[in-house]
Structure 1
Amino acid sequence: MYDKTMTFSVSNEKDQEMKRILTTVYDALSHKGYNPISQIVGYILSEDPAYITTYNNARSLIRHVDRDELLQAMVKAYLSE
């Protein structure tokens, strides 16, 4: 049937979900004319949802992302490049 061992990684799935959410939030902020990088950084630093637009449900989505996990993933991605 299957000769190879299959692995399951929750971390990888979380990273993919965070990326999907951040991409959606980024697109929503861009569409509304904001600087998405500045707005997302403001949200990460303050946890104030007012930095994120409600357009396309972005504000609700960003609240599903744990900021500590997001920062860890970002540092990991930055250092791996």
Structure 2
Amino acid sequence: MMSNIKDETVMFNFGADDDKAAKALCLSCRAMLEKGYSPINQLVGYLLSDDPAYITSNRNARNEIRRLGRDELLEELVRFYLENNENIKKGTE
């Protein structure tokens, strides 16, 4: 029986880098903090469910987040994490 699993790494590439996702995330986090919500919990809920009710409408945050795809938001979160994690930069755990 032959396996259909490929041994090659597939390249995944988004469009041009811009700061729309970063701005939307920052705005949303500030808006959620102002309303007493945990931005981490709310963003995870939104990213998993695609339900905009997890994002407050305060400061128009819900509309700003909805202008972007969840893939764009995830890309920004992963990029920021990898660029700002000292252990990754040093090659340590």
| Runs of 4+ displaced beyond 6 Å | none
Which residue of the partner structure matches residue 70 of structure 1? Answer: 73
**Corresponding letter in the other structure for 2:17:** N
User: Pairwise mapping of residues 1-81 of structure 1 onto structure 2 (< 5 A)?
Assistant: 11-13=16-18, 16-80=19-83, 81=85
Aligned length: 70
Task: Return the TM-score normalized by structure 2.
Answer: 0.67
Unaligned stretches of 5+ residues in structure 1: 1-9
Supply the distance in 2 between the matched residues of 1:33 and 1:73 (Cα, whole angstroms). 24
Based on CA coordinates, which of the two structures has the bigger radius of gyration? Answer: 2
C-alpha RMSD over aligned residues: 1.5
Per the TM alignment, residue 21 of structure 1 is displaced from its structure 2 partner at its CA by 0.7
Task: Return the TM-score normalized by structure 1.
Answer: 0.75
Per the TM alignment, residue 44 of structure 1 is displaced from its structure 2 partner at its CA by 0.7
What is the percent sequence identity of the aligned residues? Answer: 46
